[in-house]
Chains A and B, each alone.
Chain A
Amino acid sequence: MDTFLQNCLNGLSIGSIYALIAIGYTMVYGILRLINFAHGDIFMMAGYFMIICMTDLMIPWYISIIIVIAATIVLGVVIEKVAYKPLRDAPRMSIMISAIGVSYLLENLATYIFSAQPKSYPYDKMGFLSRRVTLGNISTTLVTFITPVLTVAIVLGLVVLIRKTKIGMAMRAVSRDFETSQLMGVRINAVISFTFVIGSGLAALGSVLYFIPRSSVYPLAGSLPGLKCFVAAVFGGIGSIPGALVGGFLIGLSETFVKGSATLSQFSDVITFLLLIVVLLVKPTGLFGEKIKEKV
């Protein structure tokens, strides 16, 4: 029973981190129809930014988090301006290849600057976040409790932003039809940049929450979580933010429970990808996705 509860808690926690990253994928895909392959690497870079801030520059953790989020947002927006914007009229395959190129560049850049060896994450200096909490027989860090609550709050906030505000309306318009919304006076470049701001900011936040319990960062640390988060986004229905949350929770829970069982533990990622294939075949639009009509 205790292990069950512990697994539930860990699953919810990792699942909500997946959800935070999946939101970045799902929003970018919703607007640009692009799988941002570099998103996982942006997440990895945020981990390194945190190490620079706290270990090298000795900045306290609460200020570091803000700096890291800001730096990651800048990185994400610069990538969009340099690598995706010039290809806006190009075929979709070109822009996807460009995203893959960015991902390759970021991984090599991280290897160059920080070396391929894992760097230890300043997880023990995170103030109350890394404090250990004991509830009954369950012992865990406080951040494990905070993560799901924070994520649900952020998702609610985003849903309100998209439903009620002007920029949210613009985002919905752009995701529906690029050209028409441009004709209606929506500044699509600003809207796209804003999407990347939200996506990268959440990736940075996710990275802080992800690396505290894991304690080391390496240049390829973002690629597998990135793929899994995309799976989560597809699972929930690409383009839908509550979908990303549900998808993230489901992937996180299933992964944690599979890892908990002795025989299957090494196949947890296999099961995640099999889940993806099954979802794509049975319900390609995901749980909450909208059906996209195919034009001849």
Chain B
Amino acid sequence: MTKRAKKTSSIIALAVIAALIVCVGQFVPRSGSQWSNLRTVLQLGVIYALVAVSMNLCNGFTGLFSLGQAGFMTLGAYAYAILTIPVADRPGVYYLYGVAGWLSNLHLPIVVALLVAGLMAAALAAIIGAPVLKLKSDYLAIATLGFAEVVRIVVASSPLNLITNGSLGLTKIPGFSSYYGIFIVAVVCIVIVVLLINSSYGRAFKAIRDDEIAAEAMGINLARHKQMSFIISSFFAGIGGALMAMYMGAVSSTTFTIAVTYFILLIVVIGGMGSITGSIISALLVIAAREWWLRPLDQAQYIGSFQVPLLKAGFRMVVFSIILMAVVLFFRKGIMGDKEFDWDVVANFFRRLFHGKKPKTPAVGGDAE
């Protein structure tokens, strides 16, 4: 395919996807129909896509194995919630401890609060980044995991009762009035990450991932670029956390546990470490599987009078984690490997399908080793 044809195809595909989302937003009923799940799956899917992309920026593109995502999401979610809960609702939300005086009338518009949420997460990343990023791969993982736990504990601790409502968590968090708000924010953020990755900074990140010593020899300032990748990744994780708080309408210190970080990491791995389109596709697929396609596994099912064994609450997550393990073990490169979506691959796929011709370029995906 020529470059121009690819560009046209991409624009058409994006337009089709946007049209689909609009169709879902306009015509699918909020509840009742079996397609209603699609509404929530799409929203939750793009939120996870944003968080996965932000994790991929750090883990997949810069090679920093950070597991602090849940901590930054907690911070972002709380920052957003504290600044946007309607002033009239606050006495109700903070019914037990009361709300701090300076905070009781502080109220920001949604978009500004989202930015603040991101900036709070980025600020924390900047503070812990300097010491933590000196550590090597698995030590970095444990240290960031530890920090994420620390954030959760501090947020729920009693000295912050007047601000974070302690262990009770926050409710009545407002969201966009339109169904499309979350999509717009997430897409804008992902586009920013893509632009960053295609810039000279992005190339420096990849160089650090592939060979730190060689990258340093080429004149890349390791510490600065690592910091930058970590902070930007945390910024978008913070916004992702805020979107999640918006989506759920409530947040508490147990919303974003270590398991959430693991879940996001597995999304990134299934999509392919170092592929933005992979992360997006995988986030949508994984969320659709978890929230929709595998739902029937959680209820007892009958074929005639025969009750299908094993099906009860929680079975969905077991099947789901077995699928994840299978991907990790047998398709180590995930859906996209470290490549981005490419029309040639699609074209070759169809060519092979219909004409049995050999593809021009090797297909991506699957385990090539």
Contact = CB atoms under 8 A, between A and B. Distances in A.
A109 B325 CA distance: 13
Nearest to B322: A105
Interface stretch (B84-92, B144-152, B220-228, B343-351): B144-152
Nearest to A270: B150
B158 A102 contact: no
Contacts of B329: 82-83, 86-87, 98
Given A100-B266, A101-B321, A223 B258 contact: yes
B143 A93 contact: no
Interface in A243-296: 266-267, 269-270, 272-274, 276-277, 280-281, 284, 296
B141 A266 contact: no
Contacts of B315: 112
Contacts of A109: 318, 321
Contacts, number: 122
Contacts of A178: none
Interface stretch (B93-101, B130-138, B174-182, B356-364): B130-138
A5 interface: no
Interface string B265-297: 110010001000000000000000000000000
A111 B329 CA distance: 23
Interface string A26-50: 0000000111000000000000000
B154 interface: yes
B131 A281 contact: yes
Interface residues of B, number: 44
A94 B333 CA distance: 10
Interface string A88-108: 001011101110111111011
Interface in A52-108: 82-83, 86-87, 90, 92-94, 96-98, 100-105, 107-108
Interface string A112-145: 1101100000000000000000000000000000
A224 interface: yes
Interface string B236-276: 00000000000000000000011100110110010001000
B189 to A, nearest CB: 25
Contact of A97 (B143, B317, B328): B328
A230 B273 CA distance: 26
A155 interface: no
Given A224-B149, A277-B132, A281-B131, A104 B142 contact: no
A90 B154 contact: no
A92 B145 contact: no
B324 interface: yes
B153 A94 contact: no
A234 interface: yes
Contacts of A87: 329, 332
Interface residues of A, number: 48
Contacts of A34: 138
A105 B318 contact: yes
A188 interface: no
A28 B152 CA distance: 29
Contacts of A103: 262
A94 B65 contact: no
A104 to B, nearest CB: 5
Nearest to B158: A266
A96 B262 contact: no
Contacts of A280: 135, 139, 143
A186 interface: no
B299 interface: no
B146 A94 contact: no
A271 B312 CA distance: 40
A231 interface: yes
Contacts of A158: none
A266 B324 CA distance: 35
Contacts of B257: 220
Interface in A223-251: 223-224, 227, 230-231, 234
27 contacts: A83-B329, A92-B138, A93-B65, A96-B65, A96-B138, A98-B325, A100-B265, A101-B262, A101-B328, A104-B259, A104-B321, A105-B321, A109-B321, A112-B313, A113-B314, A115-B313, A116-B314, A223-B259, A224-B149, A227-B142, A227-B145, A227-B258, A234-B139, A234-B142, A269-B153, A270-B153, A270-B154
Given A103-B262, A227-B258, A277-B147, 14 more contacts: A92-B138, A96-B137, A97-B269, A101-B321, A104-B321, A105-B325, A108-B321, A112-B312, A112-B317, A115-B313, A266-B157, A273-B143, A280-B135, A280-B139
Interface of B: 65, 131-132, 134-135, 137-139, 141-143, 145-147, 149-150, 153-154, 157-158, 213, 257-259, 262-263, 265-266, 269, 273, 312-315, 317-318, 320-322, 324-325, 328-329, 332
